[in-house]
Amino acid sequence: MEQVKNKVIDEFANKDYEFGFTTDIEMELAPKGLNEDIVRYISDKKGEPQWMLDYRLKAYRYWLTMKMPNWSHLKIPKIDYQDLSYFAAPKDMPKYESLDEVDPELIKTFNKLGIPLEEQKRLTGIAVDAVFDSVSVKTTFQETLKELDIIFCSMSDAIKEHPDLVKKYIGSVVPHTDNYYAALNAAVFSDGSFCYIPKGVRCPVELSTYFRINTAGTGQFERTLIVADDDSYVSYLEGCTAPQRDENQLHAAVVEIIAENNSEVKYSTVQNWYPGNKEGKGGIYNFVTKRAICKGNGSKVSWTQVETGSAITWKYPSTILKGDDSIAEFYSVAVTNNHQQADTGSKMIHLGKNSKSTIVSKGISIGQSQNTYRGMVKFGKNAHNSRNHSQCDSLLMGDRCGAHTYPYIKVENNTGIVEHEATTSKIADDQLNYLKQRGLDEEQAVSLLVNGYAKEVLKQLPMEFAAEATKLLSISMEGSVG
Amino acid sequence: MKLIEIKNLHVNIDDKEILKGFDLDINRGEVHAIMGPNGTGKSTLASALVGKPDYEVTAGKVIFKGKDLLEMEIEERALEGLFLAFQYPVEIPGVSMINFMKTVVDARRKHNNEDPISPVDFLNLVKKSSKLVGINDKMKGRAVNEGFSGGEKKKNEIFQMAMLQPDLAILDELDSGLDIDSLKHVAEAINKLRNKNNAFLIITHYQRLLDYIVPDYVHIMNDGKIVKSGGKELAMELESMGYDDIMSKN
């Protein structure tokens, strides 16, 4: 029996990475290493104003004084920050006005990834900003968005075209002093997406960014800034893939979200960076700082993430509930397989009155992987009548993996309610046998069970993304009828 | 050709022999009932036939629709048309009945080189089957067996059977957990599903179920094999005499 079970798990665990191809495209690469000259080089390449360069240099100098954090439940091999290239961009690509101008190789890549860049895919209702290695390649849907005064563009463009907005908000949620990787990102970030929804505007399409690391020996450091002004709404999607390589590649992104009065931001991620091979060689180190602030009263931020990729994930999408009556949610499915390690969770910092937060975390550990939930719930002195409900479930497949839960709760106001639930389960043989007796093979049965387990989170995803996410989990699609 | 031939079947669990030379042939169109005291191997027979792991066949053979059943994986046996209504159906949290049934129906269609069922056909099939068994819409919307009462779980097994139309259905202690009204209703559904092409193997401890589903043959099992076979009157005889007497008569 044990053998049969291990066979199931192995087959499930050994599915090949689908997006492991590379694109043959001429790249402009910064020399390896990190110093002030490189920071200047990046800023210069991007034609940035002085204030941006100053910001970068300040961050770089601060970073030099910091140490890599070591409190996580992760075994991180030593990273030689001088052995990386901090900027890579497809050569000769100042700006694309239409897809015809884009290198066909690049288009091919995006097609392979199923990224709806082409015009006909406008029907899917997603505006896409694609970040290839370090440079934003193409933002679709500009016209529609322009009519509503929505700004959705690459970070580089935003710095040039909307400097006041960028200046006002960049680093306001994740300051460059926040942590080691945030400081590094602030110093060398190459591009990313910027999004501003003006007062009272409900963004009619899903905004989406796809990140792709292509070039070997590079790190990717993109920066996303989303601002939802009073009474606005936006749903934002983010997807990531990378080629299969034997080396580890560093991805250290920063995402900042600002939600003003009565606005709502929904941020969904399907993270599928290359996880390394079955022996644990290669893969992306995904060290990401994502944080939102419910700045205004009655504002709402909702994080949904499906994490299946990366060799190592270190990521805690968090929300500061500053406004009264603000709401924050965090829904997460994290799958670790083979030798993957994930230390992920959320922080909910309640400052405003009557603020409410929900955390639903579903970890799935397969193979010899380690899956950790780490979360913090904090009620500040003035967070009267606030509430948090956290639910952390772990599913173990096989007997060689690990699931760990580290919840931290800090309450400074005694009118609030904090609830924490946690479960650990294994896929039971009698469940598998039941499904198999109805005619499902092992893989279908496991997929169905995992799908059911993660359902609470998957149903939070926008339709377009849900399909991709379920496919990612190699799960048969829920409810093509009924 | 017989639908299933079970010859001299020996089955161990944890190295302990439970079935000790079980023989039975079933033709299409027949309903067989297996009765016997607790611990005689009735459920072991069901589990071994559908191919649950941990049931080690040490001797004998089983030919189902002309094929060697024991060579097949559990899901292959199901796809060939063998169905077990479980004594204790398990809960599958988060997986809706509809999604589950669609996945299963399409797995079978794929096995038969057919395209996935169209949504309209599927919904019609669901409607027809649930009406037959008396499943309400609320149950269909829920996750598989999650929070179902004992009776609802049993009804759900028969609903699935109606959806899948197996050649041979094994009903393991169907009456346990069913109140008398539900039992009547479920039995009625099964009677409607009976036809000349399929067959049923009913495993039951009590004669009660056989008042409503009248079998063609009744077999009494003791200590891992059949000790007495007869027509439906054997069940009556058993009811009045008890297992001890009827077995000592042999």
- Contact residues, chain A, for B74 at CB < 8 Å: 433, 436-437
Angstrom distance (rounded) from CA A431 to CA B183: 25
Confidence band (pLDDT; 50, 70, 90) for A316? Answer: very high
- What value does the mean pLDDT take over residues B165-179? 92
Q: Do A481 and B119 touch (CB under 8 A)?
A: yes
Tell me which residue of B180, B187, B177, B246 sits closest to B218, measured CA to CA. B246
Contacts of B86 in chain A (CB under 8 A): 434, 437
Q: How confident is the model at residue A473, as a pLDDT? A: 59
Please report whether residue A318 resides in a domain. yes
Please report whether residue A477 resides in a domain. Answer: no
Residue A482 lies in a domain: no
CB-neighbour burial class of residue A93 (10 A; exposed 0-12, middle 13-18, buried 19+): middle
d(CA A358, CA A419): 10
Interface touch B53/A4, C-beta < 8 Å: yes
Closest CA to B57 of B6, B11, B7, B5: B11
CATH number, domain of B53, equals 3.40.50.300
- Say what the pLDDT of residue A134 is: 47
Of A1, A431, A482, the CB nearest to B98: A482
A430·B160 Cβ contact <8 A: no
Confidence band (pLDDT; 50, 70, 90) for A9? very low
A105-114, A255-264, A458-467, B66-75 — which is least confidently predicted?
A: A105-114
Q: How many structural domains are present in chain B?
A: 1
For residue B114, give every residue at least 6 positions away whose Cβ sits within 8 Å of its Cβ, in sequence order, or none. none
Cα separation, A144 vs A284, whole angstroms: 35
Contacts of B56 in chain A (CB under 8 A): none
Chain B from 63 to 92: CB within 8 A of any A CB: 73-75, 78-79, 83-84, 86, 89-92
Nearest to A240 by CA among A308, A287, A333: A308
Is B107–A441 a contact, with Cβ atoms under 8 angstroms apart?
A: yes
Rounded to an integer, the average pLDDT of A247-268 is 91
Most confident of A217-221, A243-247, A346-350, B176-180: A346-350
In this structure, of A193-207, A226-240, A243-257, B206-220, the range with the lowest mean pLDDT score is A243-257
pLDDT at A24: 60
Question: The tokens of B32 are what?
Answer: 């067989």
Residue B127 CB coordination number (10 Å)? 12
Q: Is A192 among the domain residues?
A: yes
Q: Is residue A213's pLDDT more than 50?
A: yes
For the beta carbon of residue B184, count every other beta carbon within 10 angstroms: 13
Q: Is B49 on the interface with A (CB under 8 A)?
A: no
Per CB-CB distance under 8 Å, the chain A contacts of B104 are 438-440
Q: Give the pLDDT confidence score for residue A102 in this predicted structure.
A: 55
Instruction: Find the CB nearest A436 among B75, B96, B164.
Output: B75
In a domain, A146, yes or no: yes
Q: Enter the tokens of residue B152.
A: 């609802």
Q: Annotate A40-57 with b (16+ C-beta within 10 A) or e (fewer).
A: ebbbebbebeeebbebbb
- Specify if A257 maps to a domain: yes
Q: Which residues of chain B neighbour A434 with C-beta distances below 8 Å?
A: 86, 89-90, 92
Spatial contact of A367 and A400, defined as CB atoms under 8 Å apart:
yes
**Per-residue buried b or exposed e for B200-231, using 16+ beta carbons within 10 Å of the residue's own CB:** bbbbbbebebbebbebebbbbbbebbbbbeee
A310 belongs to a structural domain:
yes
Q: What is the mean pLDDT of chain A?
A: 80
Question: What's the average model confidence in pLDDT over A406-419?
Answer: 93
Beta strands at A347-350 and A370-379: parallel, antiparallel or unpaired: parallel
B37, with CB counted inside 10 A (0-12, 13-18, 19+), is middle
Local confidence band at A116 (pLDDT 50, 70, 90 cut-offs): very low
Look at residue A220 and give its three-state secondary structure: strand
Q: Phi and psi (nearest 5°) for A449?
A: -65, -40
Residue A111 is predicted with a pLDDT of 58
Question: Residues with Cβ < 8 Å from A336, sequence gap 6 or more?
Answer: A342, A363, A364, A365, A366, A367, A369, A370, A371, A401
Domain-located, residue A237? yes
Beta strand pairing call for A327-336 and A356-365? parallel
The DSSP bridge partners found for residue B155 are: none
CB-CB neighbors (< 8 A) of B54 in chain A = 1
How many domains is chain A partitioned into structurally?
A: 1
State the pLDDT at residue A248: 74
**More confidently predicted of A189 and A248:** A189
pLDDT average, residue stretch A220-238: 92
Contact A295, A263 (CB under 8 A): no
Range of the domain at A424: 2-472
Q: Which helix (H) or strand (E) holds A159?
A: helix A155-161
Residue A98 reports pLDDT greater than 60 = no
Question: Which pTM does this prediction carry?
Answer: 0.78
Q: Which helix (H) or strand (E) holds B119?
A: helix B119-133
pLDDT above 70 covers a percentage of chain B that reads 99
Task: Give the domain range for residue B98.
Answer: 4-248
Query: Residue A50: CB partners within 8 Å, gap ≥ 6?
Result: none
Given B90, B92, B102, which is nearest A480 (Cβ)? Answer: B102
Specify the pLDDT at position A3: 45
Of A177-191, B64-78, B138-152, B164-178, the least confident: B138-152
CB < 8 Å to A479, chain B? 96, 98-99
Question: What local confidence, expressed as pLDDT, does residue A475 receive?
Answer: 31
Which range is least confidently modeled, A15-19, B109-113, B143-147? A15-19
Q: Does residue B113 carry a pLDDT above 70?
A: yes
Joined tokens for residue A348: 């909910």
- Give residue A457's pLDDT: 84
- Is A444 in Cβ contact with B103 (below 8 Å)? yes
The rounded distance, in Å, linking the Cα atoms of A124 and A150 is: 19
Which tens digit of pLDDT belongs to each residue from A354-389?
A: 999 999 999 888 878 888 999 999 999 999 999 999
Hey, is A204 helix, strand or coil?
coil
* Per-residue pLDDT reduced to its tens digit, A47-73: 899 999 999 999 999 999 998 888 888
